[in-house]
Amino acid sequence: MEAVREPKSPEKAKAKEERQSPAGNRPLFPFSAIVNQEKAKEALLYALINPGVHGVLLLGEKGTGKTTLVRSLSTLLPEVQVVELPLGSGEEMVLGTVDAEKTLATGKVSIKSGILSRADGQILYIDEVNLLADHLMDVILDAAATGRYRLEREGISQDFSARFVLVGTMNPEEGWLRPQLLDRFGLAVHVSGLSSVEGRAEVFNRAQAYEGDPWGFSARFEAEQKALSRRLREARKRVTRVEIPEALLSQVLETVMNAGIGTHRAELSTLRAAQARAAWEGHDTVSWEDIQAVMPLALQHRLPWKDIQHVVTWEEIEEKVYRGGKDAEDRSRSGWLRSPFYRKKKAPRG
């Protein structure tokens, strides 16, 4: 029997929009209105600019604004929606299933689309990703990497397109993902509560203003939103022509290997995120500055000598790779490309 996908009716499309915005038809909290969290914002933008980054994992305690941040991405690209995977989703909800009633009525196998299919061309958001069943996580990560998945049900076998930007959030206090699964996320960023009275007060004031008048609050940030949206669209077009100099490629590979990292995903995520950053800055060539900015995000969850619960900085990577372990003379003989930001200690004045 021929398999037929269930068409999307206007009612279902409207219901989908309401599910994606928990507040119903009111505007989502603007991306530009989120206080601080600059690293998390950057990582999410890089993943939108270059899907080859292969997703972002946000690490942080509950109540730090992770979900609000992810949902706000749709305010920059309204045509790209955030499709949320409910906690406790089963295999049929994720992959889809046969619509028995319609199949019996029409004589043709009708398929109810799963969340992976509905996320095609969108952002797939998994909150508390560490609590999702491992076998489902494997399927989702495979789909994120390949852009497709196969549904096999009741005698049918069919491929579906599933090209989405994967974003996961998790509270480390509730347990970790297996290392193999962690490695499948391109970038990882810690999201924490603000540490200043002024910053937390601003978060409170903006939340209050948004709850009181979502439309008026959104209007306050309209100019910033339009500027960010325009810049994001331009970067998404530019990224396809951003080049990586051979010398820079060699230096990134040397850095990753000397950091003790075996997985090739470390350099892939670093370089693709660097391309996204270059495009975001309006450049056609990746610079060492781009590498420095994104490498800590790509290595945050991959460094064997660093506790994942602590934020990785470029200074730590530089200290470990450029100053420790390998002898400087050996580096010189092997063609080691020193970081242009490597800082020698000044000799004491005599």
- Total structural domains within the chain: 2
Of the CA atoms within 13 Å of residue 29, those in its CB half-sphere come to 20
Residue 64 shares a structural domain with residue 121: yes
Does 310 reside within a domain?
A: yes
- Domain stops at, among 186, 209, 232: 209
Rounded-to-integer distance, Cα 40 and Cα 189, Å: 6
Residue 122 shares a structural domain with residue 246: no
What pLDDT is stored for residue 213 in this prediction? 96
Residue 237 burial (CB count, 10 A): 10
The whole domain housing 317 covers: 242-333
Q: Which residues are catalytic?
A: 265
Closest CA to 94 of 153, 54, 48: 153
Q: Which of 239-253, 255-269, 299-313 has the lowest mean pLDDT?
A: 299-313
* 287 exposure class (CB count in 10 Å sphere: 0-12, 13-18, 19+): middle
The secondary structure of residue 210, as a DSSP letter, is: H
Residue 34 shares a structural domain with residue 143: yes
Does 234 reside within a domain?
A: no
Comparison of pLDDT for 206 and 145, the residue scoring more: 206
Residue 110 shares a structural domain with residue 182: yes
**pLDDT above 80 (res 253):** yes
What pLDDT is stored for residue 35 in this prediction? 94
Closest CA to 82 of 159, 18, 142: 18
**Which residues, 6+ apart, have CB-to-CB distance to 262 below 8 Å?**
none
Per-residue pLDDT reduced to its tens digit, 160-176 = 888 999 999 998 888 77
Query: What are 62's two structure tokens?
Result: 């509950």
Rounded-to-integer distance, Cα 128 and Cα 111, Å: 28
Does 230 reside within a domain?
A: no
Residue 92 shares a structural domain with residue 51: yes
Q: Residue 286: which CATH number?
A: 1.10.8.80
Q: Residue 125: which CATH number?
A: 3.40.50.300
Closest CA to 202 of 72, 61, 65, 26: 65
What pLDDT is stored for residue 99 in this prediction? 66
